[in-house]
Amino acid sequence: MITMKEILQIPELRGVRLLAGEKGLNREVRKVTANDSPDGAEWAKGEEVVLSSGYIWRENPEGLLKFIQTLDSHKSSGFGVKLKRYLSTLPEMVERYANEAGFPILSLPEHFTFDDFINPALTFIVNKQAAILRRSHEIHRTLTESISCQDSLDRVADTLSRLLENKVVLLSHCSSPSCISAGAEDFGSYLEEVPINQACREFAFFPITISGRTFFTIFVDEPPLAHSSALTQEALYHAGAICRYIIQREQSNQQVEMRYRNEFFRDILSGTATEKGDLERRAKLFGMDLSRAGYVMIIQTKFDSTVDFSPGSLALLRSRKDRVIKSLLSVIKGICPSPMVDSGFDRTLAMLSCEPEGKDVFLQMLKERVEEYLTALPKSEGLLVSCGVGGFTASFMQPAESYRQAVKALEILGGQPSANRIATWENAGFLRLVGEVFNSAECRSFSDSTLGDLANQKRYSHLLETLIALEANQWNLKSAARNLFVHYNTLKYRYRQIEQILGKSLDCQENRLNLSIALRLKNLSKA
Consecutive H or E run containing 423: strand 422-424
Are 419 and 455 in a shared domain? no
Mean pLDDT of 96-113: 92
Reported as a pLDDT band with limits 50, 70 and 90, residue 524 is: low
Say whether 475 sits in a helix, a strand or coil.
coil
Residues 298 and 412 in one domain: yes
CA-to-CA dists, residue 164 to 184, 229, 520, angstroms: 13, 10, 68
Give the CATH number, domain containing residue 484.
Answer: 1.10.10.2840
Q: Residue 248 — pLDDT band, cuts 50, 70, 90?
A: confident
Same domain, residue pair 352 and 398: yes
Q: What is the pLDDT of residue 344?
A: 75
Q: Please, which residues bridge with residue 424 across strands? A: 389
Maximum distance among all Cα pairs of the chain, rounded to whole angstroms = 121
Please compute the mean of the pLDDT values over residues 466-486 and round it to a whole number.
89
Domain boundary among the residues 222, 250, 278 is at 250
Domain limit, last residue, from 381, 407, 428: 428
Q: Does 454 map to a domain?
A: yes
Number of domains in the chain: 4
Model pLDDT, residue 96: 93
Q: What is the mean pLDDT of the chain?
A: 84
- Whether residue 266 lies inside any domain: the answer is no
Indicate the Cα dihedral angle 509, 514, 520, 521, nearest 10°. 170
Q: Within this chain, do residues 12 and 120 fall inside the same structural domain, yes or no?
A: yes
The lowest-confidence range among 72-81, 166-175, 419-428 is 419-428
Distance, CA of 450 to CA of 447 (rounded, Å): 5
Q: CA–CA distance from 226 to each of 45, 208, 216 (Å)? A: 19, 19, 20
455 vs 244, residue with greater confidence:
244
Report the pLDDT value the prediction gives residue 420, as an integer from 0 to 100. Answer: 45
The mean pLDDT of 12-32, rounded to a whole number, is 91
Mean pLDDT of the region 279-287: 82
Identify the pLDDT of residue 525: 59
Domain at 342, CATH number:
3.30.70.270
Compute the distance between CA of residue 78 and CA of residue 68 in angstroms, rounded to an integer: 9
Q: Quick one: 290 and 420 in the same domain?
A: yes
Is the pLDDT at 495 greater than 80, yes or no? yes
Residue 312 lies in a domain: yes
Q: Which domain holds residue 187?
A: 148-250
Q: Is residue 48 part of a domain?
A: yes
- Does the residue 245 lie in any domain? yes
Q: Are residues 384 and 456 in the same domain?
A: no
- Are 463 and 513 in the same domain? yes
The arithmetic mean of pLDDT across residues 179-197, rounded, is: 92
Least confident of 182-186, 309-313, 319-323: 309-313
- Is 139 among the domain residues? no
My answer on whether 370 and 454 are in the same domain is no
Residues 415, 488, single domain; the answer is no
Mean pLDDT of 130-159: 74
* Mean pLDDT for the stretch of residues 350-370: 92
pLDDT at 20 over 80: yes
Q: How far apart are CA 193 and CA 523, in angstroms?
A: 48
Question: Is residue 220 within a helix (H) or strand (E), and if so which, with residue range?
Answer: strand 213-220
Check if the beta carbon of residue 413 is closer than 8 Å to that of residue 390: no
| Same domain? 389 vs 291 | yes
CATH number of the structural domain spanning residue 160: 3.30.450
Task: Using the 3D structure, point to which of 402, 428, 454 is the last residue of a domain.
Answer: 428
pLDDT at position 245 is 87
Q: Are residues 421 and 443 in the same domain?
A: no
The pLDDT assigned to 221 comes to 93
pLDDT at 435: 53
pLDDT digits (tens, 9 = 90+) for 370-396: 988 888 887 766 678 888 899 999 988
Q: Is the pLDDT score of 30 beyond 80?
A: yes
> CA-to-CA distance for 344 and 21, rounded, in angstroms?
63
Helix (H, G, I), strand (E, B) or coil at 75: coil
Percent helix / strand / coil, the chain, rounded to 5: 55, 15, 30
CATH number at residue 28: 3.40.1390.20
The pLDDT assigned to 432 comes to 63
User: Do 382 and 475 have their domain in common?
Assistant: no
Alpha-carbon span 316 to 308, nearest angstrom: 10
Taking CA 24 as the corner, what is the angle to CA 18 and CA 29, rounded to the nearest 5 degrees? 90
Q: Is residue 412 part of a domain?
A: yes
Residue 5 has φ and ψ, to the nearest 5°, of -60, -40
Kindly give the interhelix angle for 230-270 and 278-285, rounded to the nearest 10 degrees.
160
Is the overall model pTM greater than 0.95, yes or no? no
The answer on pLDDT for 417 being more than 50 is no
How far, in Å, CA of 283 to CA of 515, rounded?
48
Q: Is residue 92 part of a domain?
A: yes
**Do residues 386 and 410 make contact, with C-beta atoms less than 8 angstroms apart?**
yes
* Predicted confidence (pLDDT) per residue in 450-475, tens digit: 888 887 767 788 888 898 889 888 89
Q: What is the mean pLDDT of residues 32-39?
A: 87
